[in-house]
Chains A and B, each alone.
Chain A
């Protein structure tokens, strides 16, 4: 096993990351009287997490699903139903919801992986819409009116808090946890198998990677994360309805990954932070007079990135002079570091 030595450059890089983390952890203390900004952060956390979930299937495996909002919605519904109808503990419901949605997605969606390219994208949309229509017609789940979760006293066990700060920390833990899992997957044998499938399925099966099996594994992991985010969303908003599964939301979850760079694990994080900050700012400033202005911005950013930087912002950054400057001047990376 190769042991990588800690060079001064690596230490500085880690200090920079640690500083960022400390800043993120300290932020609620500074913003405790600004719930709106806290809300934007929570939005960034769960949208980026959803985007990472999509990225596992879309960016890494090359299966462009446009139905991820349905997994998130289904996760939210399963968790909310367990809490309201069975009176179960929300944390346990979240876990059960992840298992159920992951299992369901794996079983129902299995035959759809026979389809490739555009066919797969279409069937994923149809699948998402089917789930939405099913929920709209489902009496037990409140049909189109949706489900309200009970309000009550603040309690950690009941996943119910007065302020935004606890949700912020749970969201932060969620995004960091999912990021670490994604990074692990990306560097593991599983991640390389997925990327091989993306590049060429025939090559993959020739060298002993079963494309069907790996695609289903990727889908299960991806839909489990989506279900977790969905449960979080349900507990945070305390109200869910079938509109949560609209296909337009699926698109909103994909955009951070595409804008940030779908080939990178960090892509959705960068894209999510940039897009949602901009979009919420616009919604806040102009939303009252020009509804939809934030989505116009989404679309324009997307078109500009695809047209001029097809590899995404991170792809562009990794070959730009800015990165070189940051590494050599700010973090003082030396020639010797490269060789280790």
Chain B
């Protein structure tokens, strides 16, 4: 029972990261109808930025979050402006798909060239402290990151719901032509959206750095998990992504507890395929 509770808590935590990644991915998909295959690499860049700030400038990982956000937003805006917006005009789904795949490859291998494939970690004065709640123990960094995840998620919901920019983003994702007709600069919204998506991945990376190893390929698994979250939660639905992320995290930790760690990914992928196909079959039956 204790192991089960502990697994649930860990699942919630990792699920929170999947949610955050998935929500970033989902905003991008909602607005531009493209799958961002380099989302995991954005997380990787966020992690490396945090690592560099910590080991070369002595900045605390949590205090470096604002800097990471600014850099990631700028990077995302630059990519959107120079590469994605011009390619959106060709209306070719294949090209847009492989554009982001190419970006992912570029970032991954740049990280490999700059930082070498070594695994790196950050240690701070508080990284080995633990807190216990009844039978469940949790390290302090994990606790702080969890609170950070909740704050970011709430802030994101608030931003999309109440601020003018958030409303514009929702308008463009519902109907891009209509949005343009009422005077919204869609190109600017594209840039803001992609920057926001990258910044969210960067935050996830910064929050993850303290208890996860940093290496160039770290993004690959998160990238695909974020996509699973988006698909299961429904394209364009932010709430759906949130719950799907939590569900995925729980499924992962509980399946590695019940069927064994080597079968963890197998369980996740099979569940994913089954959910996708069954949902499509139901959709076709209803028609």
Contacts and interface: CB of A to CB of B under 8 A. Distances in A.
Contact of A129 (B109, B117, B262, B269): B269
B210 to A, nearest CB: 26
A302 B94 CA distance: 12
Interface stretch (B12-20, B161-169, B177-185, B273-281): B273-281
B112 A291 contact: yes
Contact of A298 (B105, B220, B263, B280): B105
Interface residues of A, number: 45
Contact of B109 (A64, A254, A296, A310): A296
B269 A112 contact: no
Interface string B87-118: 10010111101110111011011101100110
A291 B93 contact: no
Contacts of A254: 98, 101
Contact of B273 (A126, A134, A300, A307): A126
A307 B87 contact: yes
**By DSSP majority rule, is chain A's interface helix, strand, loop, or mixed?**
helix
**By DSSP majority rule, is chain B's interface helix, strand, loop, or mixed?**
helix
Contact of A115 (B105, B224, B280): B280
Interface in B199-238: 216, 220, 224, 227-228, 231, 235
A292 B102 contact: no
Given A251-B101, A254-B98, A295-B109, A114 B83 contact: no
Contact of A133 (B29, B92, B266): B266
B284 A58 contact: no
B93 A114 contact: no
B281 A303 contact: no
Contact of A310 (B92, B231, B270): B92
The listed residue with most A CB atoms (<10 A of its CB), out of B86, B262, B276, B284, is: B276
Interface in A125-147: 125-127, 129-130, 133-134, 136-137
Contacts of A288: none
Contacts of A121: 35, 97
A123 B263 CA distance: 19
A118 B106 contact: no
B83 A307 contact: yes
B112 A292 contact: yes
A130 B270 contact: yes
A130 B277 contact: no
10 contacts: A62-B94, A111-B277, A115-B276, A122-B35, A123-B273, A291-B113, A295-B105, A302-B98, A307-B99, A310-B87
